[in-house]
Chain A
């Protein structure tokens, strides 16, 4: 299998002098193409920091992040933006949809940034809505959708750009357990259908049960790397 994510000796510290906190300490790991991986650990263990470093949303104090063989540490701000746009899809804990855009427009916007023409954008938006089971709800604004529906739109948005990797930071944390499990099952199906690499953070045991692989983080250190299914 092809390695799509590789971190080498990642160190990230926050604060200065006496108040300094080490969020990640020499984290080295690699994730293969098509894996459905959960980064787990208690609050403050460094899950979000690791996802942000993998996604190029933050810079490590030392160490490297290779995505599909490319070291993102060497990229300029603009190159990093373009890389995120074309290769990474993000799903956030609190959905983070643009409130003034409809569900369709939220999904379409990233394709606009990619320079895809309008006809193709519209076609793919409908495909994505169907994929996440939101046909007929495309014209609704986020405020008119339930939490679960909003997160499905966020998943559709993340997948619309056809990224290599989808990073999800506690995607089910704001959902009730039934909706959360349903969402995870849907992500799991998409992972299987499209062979996209999913990496998500969680501390919900029911969610962890659905992952192929669990990377246990504790105090910024990889405590255990556990392959659940193969």
Chain B
């Protein structure tokens, strides 16, 4: 307690200098936290764009379907998977899917197409597909009065085949049993835009797609959302243990290239932030060194009365970390309301950005323990390290020389 008191009073000894040092550290911390919030918020938005566009936070497949998709690599007992997902408290939504490629006809035009068999009710619990309907109506799994089942097609395919809502589209593909699959569907909606990943997609109701592709009640994939998107990797591990015969993959594995790019970008930004903190702490080092030089005689006295060199290192360490802690606390109190506002309200962009059919017009930050505590830990660690050179200098002071100084 007395050592803490001594450290605290030493900080207050040169009030103006301590205040300036504290302000620079508080400013550095605020800048660090704001940059982290911006960085994490931006990447969080981008991750949301593709996870909520299609990928989900986690996917479940048979064998290596995610890397080498084949029509016959199906999950044979989807009901068991649904039961597992339904009973897991950290899973907030799931959607079964089937996939295949096809040749699409519209009038006298043809195009390749990607079939997405989706559950009309469950798919919106995982993705933003409802928001991506740019024309027409989101479909159901019921046929129309003439007995034709509905289809929703991507904007790219619609433009290529010059089709619109209400038109017929003919699909030809091959079934899982080797049969030729062909049928006519009525377009009920156009999805996304020409840059969407599903621009050449044809969305069919799940049961219709299963029938069309002759795969019975089986599916190729389950996409699901985690209650906390930051914990999706842990959830994937937990689900994998519940479904050992299937492959459970977090989006970080499904979109491995993107994930690596994101990590590289983050690391680059972390380096820049660390550089800013380093520059701030050069100033702090100067302050602490000055403080040690000014107190040379005092350290000589302390050593004379029996203070071990390590005690002096400890004293300088406590003083520096205490000043950093006070500065960070002030910085946190000042930046927290800004980050809350940035996360909840955000900055309105002058120009909206259309990301695959989903419009973003606000830049938002991220508020998490990581955003607040990582810079805090980094700065405290830097403060601790920066205290060592002055501390060692104090420890090496010779009492005879120090007592003769002024």
Segment with Cβ contacts to A, from B246-254, B306-314, B342-350: B306-314
Minimum Cβ distance to chain B for residue A50 (Å): 12
Q: Is the CB of A86 within 8 A of B306?
A: yes
What residues of chain A lie closer than 8 Å to B6, measured between beta carbons? Answer: 98, 100-101, 105, 109
Contact count A vs B, C-beta below 8 Å: 78
Chain A interface size, as a band, is 20 to 34
Q: Does B10 lie within 8 Å of A100, measured CB to CB?
A: yes
Knowing A105-B2, A112-B2, A118-B1, say if A84 contacts B305 (CB, 8 Å).
yes
Q: Do the beta carbons of B2 and A96 come within 8 Å of each other?
A: no
Is there a chain A Cβ closer than 8 Å to B3's Cβ?
yes
Nearest to B311 among chain A residues (CB) is A113
B88 beta carbon closer than 8 Å to chain A: no
**A110 to B2 Cα, complex, angstroms:** 11
Known: A52-B400, A78-B309, A100-B10. A90 touches B2 (CB 8 A): no
B301 CB within 8 Å of chain A: yes
Partner of B297, one of A52, A96, A157: A96
Answer whether residue A192 sits at the interface, using C-beta atoms and an 8 A cutoff. no
A161 at the interface (CB under 8 A from B): yes
Interface residue SS majority, chain A: helix
In whole angstroms, what is the CA distance A221 to B106 when docked? 117
Complex contacts, B302 vs chain A, CB 8 Å:
98
Indicate whether A113 sits within 8 Å of B307 (C-beta atoms), given known contacts A98-B301, A105-B2: yes
**Inter-subunit contact B298/A58 (CB<8 Å):** no
25 A–B contact pairs at CB < 8 A? A52-B399, A52-B400, A57-B399, A57-B403, A77-B309, A78-B309, A81-B303, A81-B307, A81-B308, A85-B305, A85-B307, A89-B305, A90-B305, A96-B297, A96-B298, A98-B298, A99-B13, A100-B12, A101-B9, A105-B5, A110-B305, A112-B2, A118-B1, A157-B305, A161-B306
Q: Which residues of A contact B (CB under 8 A)?
A: 52, 55, 57-58, 77-78, 81-86, 88-90, 92, 96, 98-101, 105, 108-110, 112-114, 118, 157-158, 161
